[in-house]
Amino acid sequence: MSLPVSMGRLTAESAVSRAFLVKTRGRIMALIVKKFGGSSVATTEKILNVAKRVLGEKKPGDKIVMVVSAMGDTTDDLIALAEGITKNPYQYTREMDMLLTTGEQQSIALLAMAFKTLGHPAVSLTGPMAGMKTNSVHTKGRIVDITPDRVHEELDKGNIVVVAGFQGADAFGNPVTLGRGGSDTSAVALAGALKADTCEIYTDVDGVYSADPRIVKGARKMKEITYHEMLEMARLGAGVMQPRSVEMGEYFHIPIHVRSTFTTTPGTIIREDYTMEDKDFVIRGVAHDEKVAKIAVLGIPNTPGIAHEIFSALADANIDVDMIVQSIRNIEKNVTDMVFTVAASDLAEAKKVVDGVADKLNAVAVLIEEDVAKVSIVGAGMLGNPGTASRMFGALSKVGINIDIISTSEISISCLVKGSQLKEAVNAIHDEFFPNK
Amino acid sequence: MSLPVSMGRLTAESAVSRAFLVKTRGRIMALIVKKFGGSSVATTEKILNVAKRVLGEKKPGDKIVMVVSAMGDTTDDLIALAEGITKNPYQYTREMDMLLTTGEQQSIALLAMAFKTLGHPAVSLTGPMAGMKTNSVHTKGRIVDITPDRVHEELDKGNIVVVAGFQGADAFGNPVTLGRGGSDTSAVALAGALKADTCEIYTDVDGVYSADPRIVKGARKMKEITYHEMLEMARLGAGVMQPRSVEMGEYFHIPIHVRSTFTTTPGTIIREDYTMEDKDFVIRGVAHDEKVAKIAVLGIPNTPGIAHEIFSALADANIDVDMIVQSIRNIEKNVTDMVFTVAASDLAEAKKVVDGVADKLNAVAVLIEEDVAKVSIVGAGMLGNPGTASRMFGALSKVGINIDIISTSEISISCLVKGSQLKEAVNAIHDEFFPNK
């Protein structure tokens, strides 16, 4: 996890207890950051609904900061417009940021109007106005500092403050967008800088589930999950939250409440540790990733530096390698096989790179297999439960599923299985760890 | 003409000769500000055409600053969007500015991309980034200062600088739009602050004509016109340029070249004084205004303060009164009539106000007449030509047109005539002062 060094001073501050918990008439007033994505504000009707909901749930004295994305397809429409000027507008990243940042600027203006129309004072602030300072890597910016003085000022005036997500300005005042998942990151980072009590991320799912509910019928919504577990889930294929925003939450010690735009039921809180009640489960969830491909380099000399040769070539081509197994093919000839996985989207490029290296090494063959998938269990609880791995393997074996590669991290175990068996594998493992009540 | 006091220091600077005229290889390099309106950049194709044209006309070493409006109907579309939130979005002027300023931000990004696609370095700057400081009167802001450091920096790097017209930021960093004609004002003021050599305003007419070419067949394009004459023409109904931008041009001593987006022929230069060749004409043009209505308050006591009573009531209602005639109705009874004109759009409101006052004054009657129009001649040259007025009245009398009210300023004479006779009146006067060659 790499976070900008310049944020250090903010951490120190936020480690101190919440400055914004002000006790008044026996009730704790809260500072809450609420993030709504593009689909939640896709039409003016939806924008009005968001405002109504937020006002309906607001407790007297609560301070509310909204972070919103561009309306629905606005970003795509703007990209299409730029394509009317040049086939590849992303070659001009600075101008793309100038163009794209208008999307959120429109939605914040409209949402602030919606609050005011409904009778509550509100003010919109662009990312730069809210103090979001970024580096100068246009279209893929990273937040380097946040100075939310203006946000505090407007909150103190009684306003709901509506901030443009996904954007900030660099040291020269140029608009910079944050890249994929940027609005979540904006929201959590702003919550951190404001020392908010919580950051609520409204999305089209109503929380983090023990497995993908589309695959596992009995998947359970988790009340809580730790930052580390959530990051591991995301890394292993569970798409609820972008890892960057979870990292930000951990960094700033901000609880992230993932919940539904469409219902008012509580979602899942991502935090440092669980409260007692939710500690029952050894694992937090079963993640899976179908977009995986396997590459096997067969019959290469088992000499020092062989692994480096293959994987540095892939790294140079910007290809991430995931699971790796090296196995001896022939002890007498000292020949080995190297098997690993890459993202399916990288397969063609990876094959080219590996073919080149394999030629140099006189490999016997390079095989690829696309019908593979990764199933993983994640949970900090497995640290104190040594039998967890064998329970997982047993569950797969019971339904006759062969394991191709195994890899582990501190809080996860992953198995590569046949893609066609993925659904069965996820269900078998889920049944083992989350038996039906 | 009221211009912000805080601009004083800029004037002092711009009074000095053009700092940006740098002699190089025998040619004077120029700094030129070019303003293109919304219809000139309504589509990506038109944006590319603007970029091609500017690059085609650019001389080596010239520094170019573009000021552009929002694309075509963008502003109207954004207003319609806001109307999806609230029936009267303009009650939230700050949020309207937040919303509307995205329009120009999109067009500057696209135009900068267009220049780059065509091979010339370019960079877009929002109004605030270009240093446009305004007051805090949202949707009707006025420029209070310009600090165009960033514009100079980017020009020095070899960029064509594309600046968003119509917008700036107030002292708190809030986006503020400049109201009607704001982009012209942006362009001329920025030209002034940059000490540009000229400011070119590209529009759908190719210059300033001696009369409206839709009414007078033989109307002539003027090569030059003074700021004062242009202001007077605008005041009297000629709609080519917004008065504020002409005032800015005079204030900063910046020649304004009004020319066509669609042709490359020279247009009309608005400047301090003419060069010799264009001094032939006693007047510069014949202006007209059909959107006029006449109100007559008949039979009121001719006592001191009567005029004040009527016109202060109208002023309180924010209604401008134009031509005024007071005539004695009955000397013995010391009773008088008060006749004046207002903008047709103010008539209903003005009638209400005047009826109230007339009641108090026991006026005999309040009459209104809508079939009236104002025809005017404008020209600094009439100062030294005492016969000008009588030539105008003679021309009207020759074609049998009766004059209802006459009013004069230092450089103009206006006559109120029947609306149905306006076209004939304009032609008769034009023939008198601009006889066919």
Q: How far apart are the first and last CA of chain B?
A: 37
Residues 275-304 of B with CB under 8 A from A: none
Phi then psi for residue B65, to 5 deg, are -115, 125
pLDDT value of position B185: 93
Q: What per-residue confidence (pLDDT) applies to A330?
A: 76
pLDDT of residue B240: 78
| The two structure tokens encoding residue B74 | 């963008």
Provide the token pair at A20. 């914004």
Contact A38, A99 (CB under 8 A): no
Q: What domains are there in chain A, each with its CATH number?
A: 5-275 (3.40.1160.10), 286-433 (3.30.2130.10)
Instruction: State the amino acid at position B92 in one-letter form.
Output: Y
Q: DSSP characters for B1-20?
A: ----GGGHHHHHHHHS--TT
Q: Cβ(A428)–Cβ(A396) under 8 Å? A: yes
The per-residue pLDDT for A3 is: 40
How far apart, in whole angstroms, are the C-alpha atoms of residue A289 and residue A363? 29
pLDDT of residue B422: 96
Chain A interface disruption, residue of B50, B100, B102, most A CBs within 10 A: B102
What pLDDT sits at residue B276? 55
Give percent of chain A with pLDDT exceeding 70.
Answer: 92
User: How far is the C-alpha of A82 from the C-alpha of A100, rounded, in Å?
Assistant: 10
Residue in B369, B393, B208 with CA at minimum distance from that of residue B287: B208
* CA A286, A292, A297, A301 torsion-angle sign: negative
Q: How far is CA B356 from the centre of its chain?
A: 34
Contact B185, B144 (CB under 8 A): no
Please state whether beta strands B224-226 and A405-409 pair in parallel, antiparallel, or not at all (unpaired): unpaired
Selected for mutation to probe chain B from A47, A95, A108 (highest B CB count within 10 Å) is A95
Q: How far is CA A247 from CA A256, A272, B287, in A?
A: 11, 11, 68
Residue A205: predicted pLDDT: 86
Q: Which residues of A touch B94 (CB under 8 A)?
A: 123
pLDDT confidence band for A174 (50 / 70 / 90): very high
Contact between chains at A117 and B85 (C-beta distance less than 8 A): yes
Which residue on chain A is closest to B149 by alpha carbon? A172
Residues A348-391 pLDDT 10s: 999 999 999 999 988 999 999 999 999 999 998 887 777 899 99
pLDDT digits (tens, 9 = 90+) for A50-93: 999 999 999 999 999 999 999 999 999 999 999 999 999 999 99
User: Integer distance in angstroms from the first to the last C-alpha of chain A?
Assistant: 37
pLDDT of A22 > 90? The answer is no
The alpha-carbon gap from A66 to the nearest alpha carbon of chain B, in Å, equals 15
Q: How far apart are CA A103 and CA A81, in angstroms?
A: 13
Stretch A290-301: mean pLDDT: 93
Among B333, B419, B421, CA closest to B373: B419
CB of B176 closer than 8 Å to CB of B141: yes
Q: Which residues of A touch B126 (CB under 8 A)?
A: 98
Strand pairing report for B122-125 and B160-164: parallel
Substitution target from B113, B118, B138, B174 for chain A, most A beta carbons within 10 A = B113
Q: What is the mean pLDDT of each run of 10 residues along chain B (437 residues)?
A: 38 36 56 95 97 95 96 94 96 97 98 98 98 95 96 97 97 93 92 96 91 92 92 85 89 94 92 70 90 94 86 91 85 86 94 94 93 94 83 94 90 94 96 86
pLDDT tens for each residue of A386-418: 789 999 999 999 999 999 999 888 899 999 999
- What dihedral do alpha carbons A391, A395, A401, A403 form, nearest 10°? -10
- In the sheet that holds B160-164, the strands lie side by side as B122-125, B160-164, B63-68, B31-36, B198-203, B256-260, B268-271, B224-226
Task: From residue B237, give the alpha-carbon distance in Å to each of B67, B231, B241, B423.
Answer: 26, 10, 10, 14
* Rounded Cα–Cα distance for residues A78 and A103 (Å): 8
What pLDDT is attached to residue A14? 38
CB–CB of B102 and A105 under 8 A? yes
Q: Is the ipTM of this complex over 0.85?
A: no
Closest CB to A95 among B44, B86, B124: B124
For the stretch B205-250, pLDDT in tens is 889 999 999 999 999 999 999 999 999 998 888 877 888 899 999 9
pLDDT of residue A325: 87
> What are the chain A neighbours of B123 within 8 Å (beta carbons)?
94
| Residue B2, pLDDT score | 38
Asked if A86 has any chain B CB less than 8 Å from its own CB, the reply is: yes
Sign of the dihedral through C-alpha B324, B329, B330, B335: negative
- Asked if the Cβ–Cβ distance from B81 to A173 is below 8 Å, we say no
Distance CA(A137)–CA(B140), nearest Å, equals 36
**Which residue would you say has higher pLDDT here, A251 or A4?**
A251
pLDDT tens digit string along A100-156? 999 999 999 999 999 999 999 999 999 999 999 999 999 999 999 999 999 999 999
- Identify the CA nearest to A63 among candidates A13, A18, A7, A117: A18
Model confidence at A6: pLDDT above 80: no
Portion 413-432 of A in contact with B at CB < 8 A: none
Scanning A170-199 for CB atoms below 8 A from B yields: 173-174
Pairwise CA distance, residues B161 & B182, whole Å: 19
